[in-house]
Structure formats: C-alpha cells, structure tokens
Structure 1
C-alpha cells in the first residue's frame, strides 16, 4: 500500500495527535513499514493547524492528551469542510468513550497498545476508513456529474419547448393574418378553429419552458392559461360568455395533457359558438377532478343543449377530432342527457 487515497501516487499522510512522543515515534516507524507517512502533533491546536494546511488523508486521535481530551478536539475536526476520516484511539476499556467518539463523528475506534497486532489492526482500520472516504468522494463526484448533465438536458429541453412554442405562435399569427384577408365566413371560422388548436398545443410547450418540468404538466395551471386565451379570442358582443375552471392540482404526462387540451379547446369553442343565442351571456364550466387512477373532465353549459345524433354543424371536423382524441386516451366522450344544456364527460386513466 503506497498510494494516497486520491490515487495520485503521493504517500498517504496520516496525522497522529497524541502527547506521547515515544509512542508517536513507534507509530511512525510501524505505520511507515505499511506504506503510510505519519505527521505528529502533540496537542489539539497543532493538529488543527496541520489539518488546515491540507493534504492529510486520515487522522488518528488519542483520547487522553495533556490539557484536554480527544473528545474536545473531535467536534472541531468534524466541523472542517471535507475533513478527513478520524480513527479514535483510547487506552480505556470503557466502551462509553468509544460510543461518545462515534456519536461525535469519529469513523472508527481502536484500543491502544504497542504490540505488532495493534499496528496491524490500526493499519487495517486506516485502510477501511480511507476506502470508505474514497467511495463517498467518488459517489459525490458521480452525483455532481449526473446533476450537471441533468441540468444541461433540462436546459436544452426547455430551449426546445421555447422554440416550438415560438414557431407554433408564428404559425398561429400567419393563420390569423390569412383569416383577416378572407371574406368567406366559412373559411374564416375554419381558420379560427385551426388557430385555436395550434394555440392549445403551443400553450403546452410554453408551460414546459417556463416551469422547467420534464415529462409532466400541472393540469390546472395549463387549462387556466389555455381557457384565458380562448375566452379572450372568442368573447365579443355576440358571445359575451364566461369560462369558469374548477380543477385540482394534478400532474399529467405531457402527451395526455396535449390531447386533453385539444379536447377541452374544441368543447369550449363549440359552447361559445352554439350554446347560447347571439347576444345572450352564458357560463361555460370546465371541471377536472381525480378519482383514484382516473381523471374526470367535464365541460358544461346551460344553453340550448346538444344532441349527438343531430346533424353536425359546420364541417364536422371538430367532432372527428374529439372522437379521435378521446380514442387516443382509450376513452369515449359521453354526453349527459339529463343536463339542462350540454354536458360532455371524459374519463380516462392517468397512468
């Protein structure tokens, strides 16, 4: 054994704190044969000074010193940042001293002696605490590398989401521009619906960018943002409606939130357009609640009502999107026939 605990090729430096010079010389000789370099300090103050200078791989601390005990010095060693491991040496058979030393931060303890067996035991204890310290150091370094890599990956992912949200926002702006230059009302409505769908997806990526979450989105915050955008873009003199969200703080996988956002966007947009007569104010409620492993989503209004068997209004694309999105969640969109107005219900697994 001839290399340091840091595997740099330098000798392993052991600090021995004891007021017995003769034992220190004996210790120096015997541990030197086993590949250690011993630094001796006759008191705690000298030992702490040597420790502060650095380069010490382990400490052997004697219990009985001239003006103090090792238990007086041990807490000051342990308080040092990145302090080396400490082996507490005591000549007493009183196990309470060893227990007190271990509680104060010592890594191991030995009963003092001068026989070859004692130095063999001490060398074995040193190798053990040095190996443990090396393992802890390497583990901390590995965890730091993992943390840095994770932070870098999250930063890149956030940047990707930021760019996607900006690109989708640009597409939405182009569609809005195209809509303003079109006189065909059917085409205008279709373009506006397309813009709503794009905004629903862009809103997800904006939230992924701002909250730095990976893989999940908090449903209540996302829907609050999405519904605010829909209400701002749809509300006018003909449709002075209000959207009310009641949702629990639930985290959901990103792909499911995107699907959910498209479904809610379609249902709320349809309610804005068809639920109430032009000029009549109305309320549209969106309710999200979790029951065990299932998420229950309700979009309802108190308007004119909706019969799924009636011929579709408009192009029918919205209904096809709703059915396809519900199917991707392994669910079906149901309508409550007893509700005054329209109540659409979607229940799907969050796992």
Structure 2
C-alpha cells in the first residue's frame, strides 16, 4: 500500500484535460481524488466535505491560486496545500510558501511532473500528520500538567492542614506538660512544624502548581508567625525581616525556613533579658543566580563559644546538619552589638 493511501485530494486547475490526467495518475498512487475547475469551485467543494490536501494551480481565470490560497488559510482547519505553477519565477513559489502552502511543484505534462507531484503530496501529508500528532501530544501534556497542578494544589492544602493539626496538638500538649523543660521542647517542636507548614500554605495560596518559593513573602510570613509564637511586644521587642526578591526550590525553602526558625528562636530566647528592649533581624539575599545568604543577628548579650549550649543543644545540632545537607556554610560570631549567624551557599563557579 502506498504511503497515505486513501487520503482525500482536491486537484484544482482550470484545464479539464490536465485535471482528468492528474486524477488518473494520483488515483493509481492510492489517493482519492476530486476535481475543481477554479478557485471558487474549490472553496465550494471544501465547504461541502473535508479534504486532506489541495493541489492548487496558480494561474486560473477569475479567482487565481493566490487568492484561493489566502481564503483556504482562513478556514478553521485548513487542508494542506501543494501549490502548482507553470512559471519558473521563484517569487511565485516563495509567496505561496509564505502564505501557508506546504510545498510547491512546477507544472508540466510529463510523467516526471506527476511522480514529483505524488511525492510532494506524500511529504506534505506526512508533515501534516506529524504536526497533528505533535499538537495532540502537546494538548495531552497541557491537560496532564493541569491535572498534576490541581493534584499538587490539593496535596499542599492537605499537608498544610495536617501540619496545622499536628502543631495544634503539640501546642496543647505543651500547655499540659508539667515541667518547664518539656514545655520548651514541645514549643520548639511546634515552631519547627509551623516553619514547614508555612511553605505549603504559601504554595497553596499561590495556586499550588509551582515548585519554587518566593523567599521574600515566605520570610515575612515566617517572621509574623514567630512574633505571634513568642508573643513579642512590637514596641519593646520585634523581629525585623529584610528579604530581597529571589525564588528557591521548595525543598531548599523548607530547609532555610527551619534554619531561620532555629536561629530566630535562639535569639528570642537568649539574646535579651526578659525586660530588655531589642530586635532580631533576619535577612535573605541572593548571591549570583543560584546562591543565597541567610543572616540572623541581634543586639543582645553576645555568644561565648566556650560555654556549653543553652537549652537541649538539639537546635545547634540541627542547624549544622541542615546546613551541611544544603552544601552551605554556617558560621556564628559576635558582632559589634550582639550575635550574627550566617548560612551561606555560593553559586557554582
């Protein structure tokens, strides 16, 4: 069986004899061929029934091929068009291709012309089929992506709700805990859960389909969460967030959120005396295209690396482990007025 056998072809020419000859030759190649003796007749035929391809002559009395081609291209689903011309002037073929023709052949009555016409028709039909398959595949991909994004929205919503429920249960348990150390441990755990939940809440609020987090929005929201969690008085103590525009992958944002939570929590708990004023500053900033720096600093009592860790020490261990997992550098030092902690990952060289 010939390639594209059974395809419906409309051959358009004002020469009835050449039309009949072309019909016989093309039907021997396996095509189903109908004839139209002019541009208007061609458009009428296409309006009545579908065709896979139109072989369109250029020079015709009344409505010529160029005008007919333009009207064909305006159809909702135009057929492929092979432009047939008897002229050797290349600008005619070039204009036809620019107007939407798939290909062109130079007309003659020799056997070679019909062989060339048949091969050109097959090539145009192959290209049309491949384009249709590509369009269907792209449409299927768009539909699949839309479904996956909808599922991701729902997943982020459910994860955020589940984490919120766990956070509430941990908070309830902390209030019922008998010892101060147990209450502190449980409240620290709650803040860590909230830092992860905040990412999923932001993804859900943004539509849920993304895989990157706007760190400026996340950092400001995390600062508000920590302010509420510690019950800070904005007039006496506050958390100030300075975040430059940048986006990071969700997994990285979660890790940095946990790191920021630990560093801010340490500053809120240990930098200032209970009755002292002060602030904790959090800064997110990009380094190059793929690097970043997280800085948390206070104006408090400072840090003595020779003294044992205050609290359980789990937070410090967690900070170093997460920073190492990110491939980032962690350093903590006394600044002019307090403590500065930095998590920094440089972009690859």
Scaled by the length of structure 2, what TM-score is found? 0.91
Please show how residues 108-119 of structure 1 align to structure 2 within 5 Å.
108-119=103-114
| Alignment match, 2:229 | 233
SS of residue in 2 equivalent to 1:335:
strand
RMSD over aligned Cα atoms: 2.3
Query: What's the CA shift string for 1:180-227, capped at 9, x where partnerless?
Result: 333533322222111000111111222333433454323222222222
Relative distance call for 1:241 and 1:54 in structure 2 (3 A) is farther
Inter-CA distance 54–197: structure 2 relative to 1 (3 Å threshold): farther
Secondary structure of the 1:66 match is: coil
> 296, 301, 309: which is aligned to 2:293?
296
Deviation of 1:172 after TM superposition, in Å, equals: 0.4
Moved more, 206-215 or 227-236: 206-215
Shift of 1:155: 2.8
Instruction: Answer with 248-257 or 78-87: which moved more.
Output: 248-257
Partner of 2:319: 322
Task: State the distance in 2 between where 1:74 and 1:328 align.
Answer: 62
Instruction: Determine the C-alpha separation between the residues in 1 that align with 2:55 and 2:29.
Output: 15
Cα distance in 1 for residues equivalent to 2:36 and 2:137: 35
Whether 2:133 is the aligned partner of 1:143: answer no
Q: Distance in 2 between matches of 1:338 and 1:321?
A: 23
Which residue of the partner structure matches residue 90 of structure 2?
95
| Farther off after superposition, 169-178 or 275-284 | 275-284
1:304 positional shift = 2.3
Alignment CA distance shift 1:3-1:223 (3 Å): same
User: How far apart, in 2, do the equivalents of 1:252 and 1:219 lie?
Assistant: 7
1:42 corresponds in structure 2 to 37
In the TM superposition, residue 121 of structure 1 has moved relative to its aligned partner by 0.8
Q: How far is 1:16 from its partner?
A: 1.8
Provide the residue aligned with 2:198 in structure 1: 203
SS at match of 2:307: coil
Give the whole-Å Cα distance in 2 for the aligned partners of 1:225 and 1:183.
31
Alpha-carbon distance between aligned partners in 2 of 1:145 and 1:85, rounded to the nearest angstrom: 23
Q: Which whole-Å CA distance do the structure 1 matches of 2:234 and 2:69 have between them?
A: 79
- Residue equivalent to 1:269: 265
1:213-232 equivalences in 2 (<5 Å): 213-232=209-228
TM-score when normalising by structure 1: 0.90
Structure 1: runs of 5 or more not aligned? 6-10
Among 187, 191, 194, the residue aligned to 2:182: 187
Secondary structure at the residue paired with 1:135? helix
Match of 1:287? 283
Task: Give deviations 1:133-168, integer Å, cap 9, x for gaps.
Answer: 111111221222233233323333332332222111
Residue 25 of structure 2 is aligned to residue 30 of structure 1: yes
Alpha carbons 1:14, 1:58 under 8 Å: kept: yes
Write the distance in 2 (CA, Å) between the matches of 1:77 and 1:12: 18
Does 1:313 pair with 2:310? yes
Paired residue total: 346
2:160 paired with 1:165: yes
Q: Indicate the residue corresponding to 1:253 in structure 2.
A: 249
Say if 1:237 and 1:279, in contact at 8 Å, map to a contact too: no
CA contact 2:4–2:125 (8 Å) conserved in 1? no
